Amino acid sequence: MARIRTLEMRDIVKDFSGLRANDGVSLKIEAGEILGLLGENGAGKTTLMNILFGLYRPDGGTILINGEEVVFRSPRDAMQRGIGMIHQHFMLVQKHTVLENVALGFEKAPFFFPLRQVRRRLAEFSYRFGLAVRPDEPVWKLSAGEQQRVEILKALIRSSDLLIMDEPTSVLTPKETAELFDILKRMSGEGHSIILISHKLDEITRICSRVQVLRKGKVAGEAPMGEVSAEDLARMMVGRRVADSYPKADLPPGRVVLEILDLEAQNDQGAPAVRGVSFEVRENEIFGIAGVSGNGQQELVECVTGLRRASAGAVRLLGREITGLSPRQIHNRGISHVPEERIKFGIVPNLLLYENAVLKRHHRQPYSIRNIMNYPAIRRHAGDLVKSFQVATPSIYSPMKHLSGGNIQKLILGREISADPVLMIAAHPTYGLDVGASEYIRGQIIARRDRGGAVLLVSEDLEELFMICDRVAVMFEGRIMGIVDPRSGSFEEVGMMMAGAVEAAGGEATDAV
């Protein structure tokens, strides 16, 4: 099969239940090019790439490779023509080794002793592209960056000339991201084409040679990377200027709402995850938790929300002990929770939007009267949330799984805020969201604080934490390394604490750390 020199998608149309995801979209990429594909959540980027990879059939339009029209009825058809795709959530069998995962679905592997040949090719491509992996290591033991290398090697070994990458850095550390970009540049230099779907404008400007922006299913603009700025791209994505700062009311801290005292907890493997953590969150305050993923933030949030039992210490809400209570009891006491994994823990994907709008409160009035669901009240509430929190959906009767990530997050946030909580916990609320949706979510969190609310915000995005938080605590290996005032602290100082290189005296720092 001839290598891909040029690939074109012309006038692609795709509808889902009356909603047009792609409306006459055209795209072209040449060999050796890295094309950035930008757009808000629901703009049609992933749908377009799923069509290119054979997961969806277009309702209109054509795909051409080297000027020849092709039809993909399945991902196998696309892979046979040299197209590979790495999804945002890796498609690896966790209990299998790296070698076994690469061998799965590799049609050129011999019938007898297939792993021998796959091992040789794995070593060859690992050396050629600088993709260091451990062939005999189970995937579940690998970091996110290592798992991504396995996905790239799978595509390369299957002779992919064009590689589609959907949000490739969403689970990577800055160091892993830099390593990935070095690999992509090396692949581009050898003639491989790459389409990079991302919400991170700084990454698009760093790595891509050209960029194309989608908005509401249509092409909003395209240009060589050197001719546009990050501000230009953001404006193309959302059709207006995006805020780069978030004004907050000048409010003095109120009474203590959440009090954490010498809290300790174990992770799922029984190892210490939270080690002697203590802090307070007050009214009129957004208290941020910074840190690289895996340093105890998740276990901390789970202890506060009742999803995990603490092994020592105490959690108090308005002075009352809530340590060890169930998630429902804690929610009933006034703590709302925007979870880190919105699809897994924030919604029930197969239920309708209006049903998801009352989760955790469906058993209480006015949504339930004498154990009978009050559907008119539920539907009114769902309609109010859709309107107030700008959730883009065909109707409140749409299955939740049909909404984009940003609109799912808007509904979850609206549901949690509408409960009028004493404390709102938001874990990575803008993770994977575009600039427009992120701006909206941050604005709503600040509005909650300005109305006298208390917010505990967990995020790996330092810019986000510094923009909207009143104080930021830094976690490393389960401990609080220090608490920083964003008005006087710096990214560099927090970054050093995130790496465990600096610890503030007494765990508190309001100026230089």
Instruction: Give the pLDDT of residue 104.
Output: 80
Q: 99 and 136 in contact (C-beta within 8 Å)?
A: yes
DSSP letter assigned to residue 91? -
Coil/strand/helix, residue 113: coil
Query: Which tens digits make up the pLDDT trace of 368-394?
Result: 988 899 999 999 999 999 999 989 888
Q: What is the CATH number of domain 243-334+421-513?
A: 3.40.50.300
- For residue 336, the surrounding DSSP H or E stretch is strand 335-338
Domain residue spans of the chain: 6-238, 243-334+421-513, 344-420
Query: Which tens digits make up the pLDDT trace of 44-57?
Result: 888 999 999 999 99
Q: Is the pLDDT of residue 96 over 70?
A: yes
Dmax (CA) for the chain in angstroms is 72
Q: Please report the beta strands in 353-408, taking only residues with DSSP state E, as ranges in sequence order.
A: 368-369, 372-373
DSSP letter assigned to residue 506? G
Q: 39 and 215 in contact (C-beta within 8 Å)?
A: yes
Query: Which tens digits make up the pLDDT trace of 388-401?
Result: 998 988 899 999 98
Instruction: Give the pLDDT of residue 404.
Output: 80
H helix and E strand count, the chain:
16, 22
Out of 174-183, 242-251, 272-281, pick the least confident: 242-251
Q: Is the pLDDT of residue 270 over 80?
A: yes
Instruction: Give the pLDDT of residue 511.
Output: 37
Q: Is the pLDDT of residue 204 over 90?
A: no
Instruction: Give the pLDDT of residue 509.
Output: 41
Query: What b-and-e string marks burial along 153-190, b requiring 16 or more CB atoms within 10 Å of the CB?
Result: bbbbbbebbbbbbbbbbebbbeebbebbbeebeebbee
- Grade residue 488 by pLDDT with cuts at 50, 70 and 90: confident
Q: Is the pLDDT of residue 322 over 90?
A: yes
Rounded to whole angstroms, how far apart are CA atoms 414 and 135?
Answer: 45
β-bridge mates for residue 427, sequence order: 458
Query: What b-and-e string marks burial along 236-253, b requiring 16 or more CB atoms within 10 Å of the CB?
Result: bbbeeebeeeeebeeeee
Coil/strand/helix, residue 316: strand
Tell me the Ramachandran region of residue 365: left when phi exceeds 0, alpha when psi lies from -120 to 50, beta otherwise.
beta
Q: Is the pLDDT of residue 507 over 50?
A: no
Contacts of residue 486, Cβ cutoff 8 Å, sequence gap at least 6: 465, 466, 467, 469, 470, 471, 472
- Grade residue 505 by pLDDT with cuts at 50, 70 and 90: very low
CB atoms within 10 A of CB 338: 24
Higher pLDDT, 272 or 167: 272
Q: Are strands 423-427 and 335-338 parallel, antiparallel or unpaired?
A: parallel
Query: What b-and-e string marks burial along 74-91, b requiring 16 or more CB atoms within 10 Å of the CB?
Result: ebeebbebbbbbbbeebe
Query: Which tens digits make up the pLDDT trace of 281-307?
Result: 999 999 999 987 778 999 999 999 999
Q: What share of the chain is helix, strand, coil (3-state, %, to 5)?
A: 35, 25, 40
Q: Is the pLDDT of residue 164 over 70?
A: yes
Domain 6-238 has CATH 3.40.50.300: yes
The mean pLDDT value for 123-150 works out to: 82
Q: Model-level pTM?
A: 0.66
The mean pLDDT value for 494-507 works out to: 66
β-bridge mates for residue 399, sequence order: 352
DSSP for 173-208, written as a single string:
-HHHHHHHHHHHHHHHHTT-EEEEE-S-HHHHHHH-
Instruction: Give the pLDDT of residue 170.
Output: 66
Domains 6-238 and 243-334+421-513 share a fold: yes
Query: Which tens digits make up the pLDDT trace of 413-423?
Result: 999 999 999 99
Q: Is the pLDDT of residue 260 over 90?
A: yes
Q: What is the mean pLDDT of the chain?
A: 87
Q: 40 and 26 in contact (C-beta within 8 Å)?
A: no
DSSP letter assigned to residue 400? G
- HSE on the CB side for 325, CA within 13 Å? 19
The mean pLDDT value for 82-92 works out to: 83
- Grade residue 501 by pLDDT with cuts at 50, 70 and 90: low
